[in-house]
């Protein structure tokens, strides 16, 4: 990667493949800024200058919030310290399937997220939000609204790319992976980003204000009650999840930025099913049931009462377990690339998918990735059939075609086929 970034010609070729174009707006546009008396040599896209033909007018486009003042940094730090306490992940009782799916996605974000469906009041939202404490740190370009990766051009915003082409030094900082909540009532402008009309009218520039997808880049996007999300927002998520980029078309301009995130959704099946094309975008699917054991139910109630009474003291009792789990995740992420899976096991995974009539190849890819992540979590560098047996129901359950006359759970169908093929 360092060789790629150090070669200006190859970097330019790669970076130019993701250009941001601007289309000519109509004469009625209220936020166009013409400068006929000034230099007409360049047009600016998100702070990036592109040569223009002589004699043509231009307008400028800039990003909002690309610079963070010391006062803003201090305010962000104070808000993090004073934010509401989160229930510790290590204190969650039961729900092992859901917890495992979440951990595997943190270890390997390319698994593609997890969909959690289950009864109301079973701790779905609490478990997902408790994941915040365990998220590892990543390196990002300082004061960049897109959390750009300084070593990966595909995860860079356009301004950072331009600086890289010019050979400028990129200041970097370490920060925790973001978890962004997408509320059901969010507008498309808030999710995708929009043009700052006030800045355009007062300063004569088309200023792009990043939305939640920009904030979620290289992080986690969590949608609670995802089956109740409006269809137009579902389409936006589908497009961004598939391409890894978000394109905003507003007021005669087109701006693109990276939007690579882990999509986590939760919902209650009683409130409606999810659209199949969105369900397939989730790498894994976890089913959560109500705990029936009386002793476990009592333990859950007691733990929750302790947390509500004194959250800080309760969290401190689980510090050691939280740190141990965080170290385990960090070690698994570092050794993930060394984990191998035999060709014979790959063939058997694909055979299971084929015999279950799974559409497409996402099931094969996700099962391979999840099995590797599980082996890394256990500290091994070789995938076994036991690893595949654990993850394959969560990877294929939601990809099977629904049969209204079928009474058996789809997860059991996957397990039966697994043992039939692997035996």
The Cα 276–Cα 285 span in angstroms is 13
CB-CB neighbours of 325 under 10 Å? 17
Considering the candidates 161, 250, 315, 362, report the single residue annotated as catalytic.
Answer: 362
The Cα 12–Cα 123 span in angstroms is 48
Query: Is there a catalytic annotation at residue 362?
Result: yes
Return the HEC string of the chain: CHHHHHCHHHHHHHHHHHCCCCCCCCCCCCCCCCCCCCCCCEEEECCEEEECCCCCCCCCEEECCCCCCHHHHHHHHHHHHCCCCCCCHHHCCCCHHHHHHHHHHHHCHHHCCEEEEECCCCCHHHHHHHHHHHCCEEEEECCCCCCCCCCCHHHCCHHHHHHHHCCCCCCEEEEECCEEECCCCCCHHHHHEEEEHHHHHHHCCEEEEECHHHHCCCEEEEEECHHHCCHHHHHHHHHHHHHCEEEEEECCEEEEEECCEEEEEEECHHHCCCCHHHHCCCCEEEEECCCCCHHHHHHHHHHHHHHHHCHHHHHHHCHHHHHHHHHHHHHHHHHHHHCECCHHHHHHHHHHHHHCCCCCCHHHHHHHHHHHHHHHHCCCCECCHHHHHHHHHHHHHHHCCCCCCCCCCHHHHHHHHHHHHHC
Least Cα distance to 127 among 88, 80, 97 occurs for 88
- 337: CB partners within 8 A, 6+ apart: none
As annotated, the active-site residues are 362
């Amino acid at each position: 990667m360092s060789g790629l970034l150090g070669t200006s010609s190859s970097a330019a070729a790669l970076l130019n493949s993701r250009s941001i174009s601007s289309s000519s707006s109509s004469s009625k546009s209220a936020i166009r800024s013409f400068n006929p008396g000034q230099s007409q040599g360049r047009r600016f896209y998100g702070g990036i200058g592109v040569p223009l033909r002589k004699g043509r007018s231009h307008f400028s486009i800039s990003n909002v919030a690309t610079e963070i003042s010391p006062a803003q940094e201090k305010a962000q730090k104070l808000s993090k310290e004073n934010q509401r306490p989160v229930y510790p992940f290590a204190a969650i009782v039961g729900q092992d399937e859901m917890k495992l799916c979440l951990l595997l996605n943190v270890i390997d974000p390319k698994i593609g997220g997890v969909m959690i469906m289950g009864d109301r009041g079973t701790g779905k939202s609490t478990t997902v939000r408790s994941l915040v404490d365990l998220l590892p740190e990543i390196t990002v370009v300082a004061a960049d609204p897109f959390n750009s990766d300084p070593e990966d051009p595909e995860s860079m915003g356009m301004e950072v790319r331009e600086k890289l082409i010019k050979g400028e030094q990129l200041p970097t900082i370490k920060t925790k992976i973001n978890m962004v909540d997408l509320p059901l009532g969010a507008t498309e402008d808030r999710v995708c980003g929009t043009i700052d009309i006030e800045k355009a009218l007062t300063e004569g520039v088309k200023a792009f204000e990043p939305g939640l997808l920009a904030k979620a880049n290289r992080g986690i996007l969590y949608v609670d009650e995802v089956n109740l999300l409006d269809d137009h927002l579902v389409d936006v998520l589908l497009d961004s999840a598939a391409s890894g980029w978000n394109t905003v078309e507003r007021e005669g301009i087109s701006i693109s930025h990276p939007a690579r995130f882990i999509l986590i959704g939760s919902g209650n099946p009683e409130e409606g099913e999810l659209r199949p094309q969105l369900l397939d975008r989730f790498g894994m699917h976890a089913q959560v049931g109500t705990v029936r054991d009386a002793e476990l139910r009592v333990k859950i109630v007691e733990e929750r009462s302790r947390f509500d009474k004194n959250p800080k003291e309760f969290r401190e009792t689980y510090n050691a377990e939280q740190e141990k789990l965080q170290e385990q995740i960090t070690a698994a992420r570092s050794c993930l690339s060394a984990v191998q899976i035999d060709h014979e096991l790959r063939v058997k995974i694909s055979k299971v998918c084929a015999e279950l009539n799974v559409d497409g190849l996402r099931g094969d890819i996700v099962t391979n990735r999840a099995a590797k992540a599980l082996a890394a979590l256990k500290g091994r560098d070789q995938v076994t059939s036991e690893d595949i047996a654990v993850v394959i129901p969560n990877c294929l359950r939601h990809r099977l075609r629904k049969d209204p006359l079928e009474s058996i759970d789809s997860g059991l169908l996957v397990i039966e086929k697994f043992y039939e093929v692997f035996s």
